[in-house]
Chain A
Amino acid sequence: MAIARLLDPVALRADFAIFERDFRGRQLAYLDSAATSLKPRVVADAMSAYLNTYSANVHRGIYEIGEEATAAYEAARAKIASFIGARDAREIVMVRNATEAINLVAYAWGRHNIKRADTIITTEMEHHSNLIPWQMLTQEKDADLEFVPFDEQGRLIQDSYDVLLRTKPKLVAFTAVSNGIGTINPVADMVARAHEVGALVLVDGAQAVPHQPVNVQDLGCDFFVFSGHKALGPPGSGALWARREILDEMPPFMGGGEMIREVHLRHTTYNEVPYKFEAGTPDVSAAIGLGAALDYLSDLGMEHVRAHEKELVEYALELLPREVPSIRIHGPLSAQDRAGVITFNLADAHPHDVATLLDREAIAVRAGHHCTMPLHQRLGEEASARASFYVYTDRDDIDRLADALKKVERLFARPAVSAPAH
């Protein structure tokens, strides 16, 4: 595919210092980007420039570096807005990560709009961050929480969703892409159907923003959240996007500095959006780092990023079952609706042992439940191993994974040696 060749994963490794490190004589095969991505040098450089040369607070200092810091911070907000297709940078609330963004919505919007016997719909494939805030809210309000199940190939069962929508939910909250099994959900269609019954929709974009073009206008949702650290950015960066009208009506999240207009001892008027939701000094350097990361991704072109990862998924879905006979791959078996996430179990080796043994070959994969325990209960697995891809991943990484998994298979299938008697 011509489009995929526009992104050269091996060439761009020069932008990532970590690939210069020696891992037992090899370059790192980092297959855990769904947990957090590696960072290109430009991210640390941008953060370092702020911390070293203009580390003033934002929205306060009436002096040169204070104005520089404010400009850089607001430029990062504008980059985020542009990256996800927001109409207006004022619709972007800077947060630490997607988890904080969802909790902000559950607290500020949810506590004022969800009442007893109301329904919130989410799915059985959510990351815990898009489940537990809704559990806490519905328990507090004595409201109902319902779940869209997924089928054998990890696709949300749309007929079940339609049945649940008949309960006239107030909110539907679901992930654009499953971090557990890689499913790319039909977001725009699901949003439209929720709107038909009058629900607002929150989309968890943590696994979408780093890996595919995203436009919140096209998705049509009301709230959208993502984390910067999965998108080449630093930990501590992320954003909540919501439609301006909704943000205007929402009460604040945390109280403190920055979020105020006028404070008296017994009452306060609040700042305009988004500052109303940004109490306290923000993580300025993280925001600036995220801005640099999004610039880097924009230069690559998100359609190229997706094309590259789709090609890797096709390759992995073909190679791994052929080379590793005992592998069970969970989730969609077509690259069309699967992000660069291959979640699997081997017949005889536990995922932890798989991850420990792969680590000996300088291959980093995730083992466990990936913050999706209900999803794993549905799969019937206590835990799984997960290899996830990004812009710096190439076929050689997947070849190394297949070779190492073959070794693990052989090791665990080795004829039993009798143990010493005890």
Chain B
Amino acid sequence: MDDLYRDEILEHYRNPHNFGTLESPTTAKEGANPLCGDRITLMLAIDDQGTVEDVAFTGRGCAISQASASMLTDEIKGKPLAEIANLGRQDVLDNLGIEISPARMKCAMLSLETLRSAVADRVAWQGKTDEG
């Protein structure tokens, strides 16, 4: 049992990075996984050049969804949307670095799906959306 959740996952779960709210986000989006009750609210501050200056999230959920959001927000902070557009499901799985069963895939992908929806009007996503 102990080998399934790496320490890094548990650490992100206990102390998630970028957890909180932004004072003046340029966009905010709620995402929920109705089957499980996982939910997050993602806030982004995107500057005129299309760079994610700051990012924050709040939410409740399992270790997988919360660690995934923590890692994803770390990954996109300071990056231009053009680069973020290349993020796909495999990047999220690589970040997590643990085996994700099909039943838990929605937990892992909640933050990515919420991010996609938050910037849908600004980004033509390159990352694959349908595998995994």
Binding site for B on A (CB under 8 A): 349-353, 356-357, 359-361, 367-369, 376, 382-383, 404, 407-408, 411-412, 414, 416-420, 422
Contact = CB atoms under 8 A, between A and B. Distances in A.
Nearest to B107: A352
Contact of A419 (B8, B38, B62): B8
A353 B8 contact: no
Given A369-B37, A382-B37, A407-B1, A356 B101 contact: yes
Contacts of B8: 417, 419-420
A356 B10 contact: no
A360 B4 contact: yes
B1 A357 contact: yes
Nearest to A411: B2
Interface stretch (B11-19, B42-50, B122-130): B11-19
B15 to A, nearest CB: 7
Contacts of B1: 357, 360-361, 404, 407-408, 411
Contacts of A420: 8
Given A368-B36, A383-B37, A356 B4 contact: yes
16 contacts: A350-B61, A352-B38, A352-B104, A353-B64, A357-B4, A357-B5, A359-B101, A376-B37, A383-B36, A404-B1, A411-B10, A416-B10, A416-B11, A416-B14, A417-B8, A417-B11
Contact of B35 (A356, A368, A408, A414): A368
B27 to A, nearest CB: 22
Contact of A350 (B14, B15, B39, B63): B63
Interface residues of B: mostly helix, strand, loop or mixed? Answer: mixed
Nearest to A417: B7
Interface string B69-104: 000001100000000000000000000000001001
Contacts of B38: 352, 382
A73 to B, nearest CB: 36
A411 B64 CA distance: 14
Contacts, number: 71
Given A356-B64, A417-B10, 19 more contacts: A352-B36, A352-B62, A352-B64, A352-B104, A352-B107, A353-B5, A357-B5, A368-B35, A382-B36, A382-B37, A382-B38, A414-B7, A414-B10, A416-B11, A416-B15, A417-B8, A417-B11, A419-B8, A419-B17
Nearest to B12: A419
Contacts of B74: 422
Which of B1, B7, B60 gathers most chain A CB within 10 Å? B1
Contacts of A418: 11
A361 B1 CA distance: 7
A357 B1 CA distance: 6
Which of A350, A360, A404, A411 gathers most chain B CB within 10 Å? A350
B122 to A, nearest CB: 24
Contact of B10 (A369, A376, A412): A412
A352 B62 CA distance: 6
Contacts of B39: 382
Interface in B15-66: 15, 17, 35-39, 60-64
A350 B10 CA distance: 12
Contacts of A376: 37
Given A356-B104, A357-B5, A376-B37, A382 B14 contact: no
A349 B1 CA distance: 14
A383 B62 CA distance: 10
Contact of B5 (A359, A383, A411): A411
B104 A382 contact: no
The 7 A-B residue pairs with the shortest CB-CB distance in the complex, in nearest-first order: A382-B37, A350-B62, A352-B62, A383-B37, A422-B74, A417-B7, A419-B11
B120 to A, nearest CB: 26
Contacts of B14: 416
A376 B39 CA distance: 15
Nearest to B100: A356
B55 to A, nearest CB: 12
Contacts of A356: 4, 64, 101, 104
A353 B37 contact: no
Nearest to B37: A382
A185 to B, nearest CB: 25
B102 to A, nearest CB: 12
A230 B79 CA distance: 52
A367 B8 CA distance: 23
Nearest to A412: B10
A379 to B, nearest CB: 12
A353 B62 CA distance: 6
Nearest to B70: A419
